[in-house]
Amino acid sequence: MTESERSTNDTSHIGMHEGVRANTIDLTYDEAKRLCEYSLDIVCISNFSGQVIWSNNVDTLITGYTKEELAKISWPEITHPDDVAKVTESLQVVSEGELRPCTEIRIRCKDGNYKWISWSGVPVIEENKIYSIGRDVTAQKTAEAEIKKLASIVQSSSEAILSIDERKNISSWNHGAELLYGYKPDEVIGRPVSLLLPESGASVLRTAPTAATQSGQELHHRRDNSEVEVSLSLFPITDEFGLCSGTAAIIRDISKQKAAERCIAQFYSITSHELRTPLSSIRGVLGLLEGGLADPSTEEGRDLIGLARTSCDRLVTLINDILDARNFDSGALEFNKELLNTDDMVSQAVANTAPMALEGSVKVTVAVPCARLKGDKERLTQALTNLLSNAIKFSPAGSSVQVTGTLTERNSVRFSVIDEGPGIPRHERENLFQRFRQLDPSDTRAKEGVGLGLSIAKTIVEQHNGAIGLDPDYTGGSSFWFELPLAPVAAKACV
């Protein structure tokens, strides 16, 4: 073979490769058409008015229309009304030679439902044509809408919902968590979850689950360093491969629930004690009378009967207080408001507590101006009686309790009940008017009562547009007060 022949052969060798390369790049018309037909997207050619010149068969599969039906329908007819302006603007932009990478519109299918189509178009000005590809993104848009809906539910939930990454750092924080803990999202996201936990002690948040859900009740810390009792449920977050990538936590404030549980437990403890004591006394008296060990006609017998009657009165008072508290909660208690005199109300309250004062050797003095109020006389007398009985109960023998009244510049009268007892410890003052609160909540306390008197008095006074409280500056005992508006007529004179 000559050198020239070898050179020719080499050239042919190169040309063969170039031919192969050219065949893989330059498609024939049939190959290009077949490629378009096999596409899962709509491939079409249209003019700048939006009229379709050619398309593959995917448009019929997506919309349900036949080619003949599509040829008779203009694009505005099947475009969602809210998207017509968007299509018009896109056609205008493309007709000017600008590439429009993506326009998402809704197309009405033959069955009446709309599908989201994402269009990308390339204009060829000299041909007056637009070469476009349309992809059905309905499933994607539905999923995005669902995710957005779920995110909105999570964000607006009143319960704290947060997520923790694999490094035990907070990665999401909803509005409920902000309300519960007091932290803004930018103050906690990326920080360790231990920020919410006591420095020591076990927590399910410290050992977040990787396979199964966990739940528990814990004591957490707020931003202001206060403590809050919470219940929490934890769920593992998995990625697309099923691997745990973090933890989701739903946390609920159960402080009120726990307080209610403690209150109920205390109520049972106090009430059982208060019921047992007078019932035991009544049973003892009845046993003595039944066994003939006491004669009702003698002074000793009469004293025993008096003791039983006092115990019965105590039980009736206890039951009435419990029923009143329940009726106040349900709104079943009605107030019969009428004009009344302050001296009548005070006199009745003093008379109600006279046996108690006599038994405790406590003197009650009254200095109340004669004025007119509008309210329920029985209930207001009950409120004053509750304050007065508390004052007598905690007063030492030989001391006195003062009931005073003052007309104020606010066109009201302020009643005060002042005793010479031990006073109220500072740390107990903010809880005084809560139910079942006792300075000595033990079953062996010396003073009787279930802790409803002040709570009931507060409710009655507030139902009469008044206010009630404890004078914090008073020393040498306690000074409780409540203030009520005077009647609009004859305010300063009793008739």
Instruction: Enter the DSSP assignment of 472.
Output: T
Which of the pair, 404 or 90, is modelled with greater confidence?
404
pLDDT band at 288 (very low <50, low <70, confident <90, very high): confident
Is the pLDDT assigned to residue 5 strictly greater than 60? no
Q: Which of 181-185, 278-282, 365-369 has the lowest mean pLDDT?
A: 278-282
pLDDT band at 475 (very low <50, low <70, confident <90, very high): confident
Q: For residue 169, give the nearest of 189, 196, 197 by alpha carbon.
A: 189
Is the pLDDT assigned to residue 317 strictly greater than 80? no
Count of structural domains within the chain: 4
Q: Which of 107-111, 330-334, 338-342, 418-422 has the lowest mean pLDDT?
A: 330-334
pLDDT score at 17: 40
Percent of the chain residues past pLDDT 70, beyond the cut? 84
Across 101-114, average pLDDT: 91
pLDDT in tens, 435-458: 655 544 443 344 555 567 888 889
Last residue of a domain, one of 227, 253, 279: 253
Report yes or no on 272 lying in a domain. yes
In a shared domain, residues 170 and 123: no
Q: What is the 3-state secondary structure (H, E, C) of the chain?
A: CCHHHHHHHHHHHHHHHHHHHHHHHCCCHHHHHHHHHHCCCEEEEECCCCCEEEECCHHHHHHCCCHHHHHCCCHHHHECHHHHHHHHHHHHHHHCCCCEEEEEEEEECCCCCEEEEEEEEEEEHHHCEEEEEEEECHHHHHHHHHHHHHHHHHHHCCCEEEEEECCCEEEEECHHHHHHHCCCHHHHCCCEHHHHCCCCCCCCCCCCCCCCCEEEEEEEECCCCCEEEEEEEEEEEECCCCCEEEEEEEEEECHHHHHHHHHHHHHHHHHHHHHHHHHHHHHHHHHHHHCCCCCCCCHHHHHHHHHHHHHHHHHHHHHHHHHHHHHHHHCCCCCCCEEEEHHHHHHHHHHHHHHHHHHCCCEEEEECCCCEEEECHHHHHHHHHHHHHHHHHCCCCCCEEEEEEEECCCCEEEEEEECCCCCCCHHHHHHCCCCCCCCCCCCCCCCCCCCCHHHHHHHHHHHCCCEEEECCCCCCCCEEEEEEEECCCCCCCCC
In a shared domain, residues 346 and 396: yes
Strand pairing of 160-165 and 170-173? antiparallel
Report yes or no on 149 lying in a domain. no
Q: Give Cα separations from 234 to 163, 237, 409 (angstroms).
A: 9, 10, 58
Last residue of a domain, one of 232, 253, 274: 253
Across 250-268, average pLDDT: 81
For residue 420, the Cα-to-chain-centroid distance in whole angstroms is 44
pLDDT score at 438: 55
pLDDT in tens, 112-167: 999 999 998 888 888 888 899 999 999 999 988 898 888 888 888 889 999 998 88
Tell me the C-alpha distance between 462 and 484, whole Å. Answer: 9
Is the whole-model pTM more than 0.75?
no
Q: Which of 98-107, 126-135, 410-419, 461-470 has the lowest mean pLDDT?
A: 98-107
Identity of the amino acid at 95: S
In a shared domain, residues 166 and 27: no
In a shared domain, residues 234 and 302: no
Instruction: Enter the DSSP assignment of 79.
Output: B
In a shared domain, residues 343 and 433: yes
Across 324-336, average pLDDT: 71
In a shared domain, residues 194 and 67: no
In a shared domain, residues 281 and 376: no
Q: CB-based contacts of 400: which residues, under 8 Å, 6+ apart?
A: 362, 363, 364, 365, 420
Report yes or no on 146 lying in a domain. no
Across 268-286, average pLDDT: 71
Instruction: Enter the DSSP assignment of 193.
Output: G
pLDDT score at 211: 59
Backbone Cα Rg of the chain: 43
pLDDT band at 245 (very low <50, low <70, confident <90, very high): confident
pLDDT score at 65: 93
Report yes or no on 172 lying in a domain. yes
Q: Which of 278-287, 330-339, 447-456 has the lowest mean pLDDT?
A: 447-456
Q: Which of 14-18, 125-129, 325-329 has the lowest mean pLDDT?
A: 14-18
The answer to whether the CB of 161 falls within 8 A of the CB of 167 is no
The answer to whether the CB of 108 falls within 8 A of the CB of 76 is no
In a shared domain, residues 480 and 365: yes
Q: For residue 116, give the nearest of 68, 67, 80 by alpha carbon.
A: 80
Report yes or no on 150 lying in a domain. no
Report yes or no on 321 lying in a domain. yes
Tell me the C-alpha distance between 393 and 449, whole Å. Answer: 10
Tell me the C-alpha distance between 171 and 163, whole Å. Answer: 5
Mean pLDDT over all residues of the chain? 82
In a shared domain, residues 271 and 203: no
pLDDT score at 94: 81
Report yes or no on 152 lying in a domain. no
pLDDT score at 259: 79
In a shared domain, residues 121 and 192: no
CATH code for position 358: 3.30.565.10
Q: Which of 281-295, 355-369, 376-390 has the lowest mean pLDDT?
A: 281-295
In a shared domain, residues 91 and 118: yes
Tell me the C-alpha distance between 281 and 318, whole Å. Answer: 16
Strand pairing of 42-46 and 338-341? unpaired
Q: Determine the structural domain holding residue 108 and report its residue range.
A: 3-136
Last residue of a domain, one of 253, 277, 296: 253
Is the pLDDT assigned to residue 79 strictly greater than 90? yes
pLDDT band at 430 (very low <50, low <70, confident <90, very high): confident
Report yes or no on 312 lying in a domain. yes
pLDDT band at 12 (very low <50, low <70, confident <90, very high): very low
In a shared domain, residues 347 and 462: yes
H-run or E-run covering 403: strand 400-407
CATH code for position 298: 1.10.287.130
pLDDT score at 9: 45
CATH code for position 44: 3.30.450.20
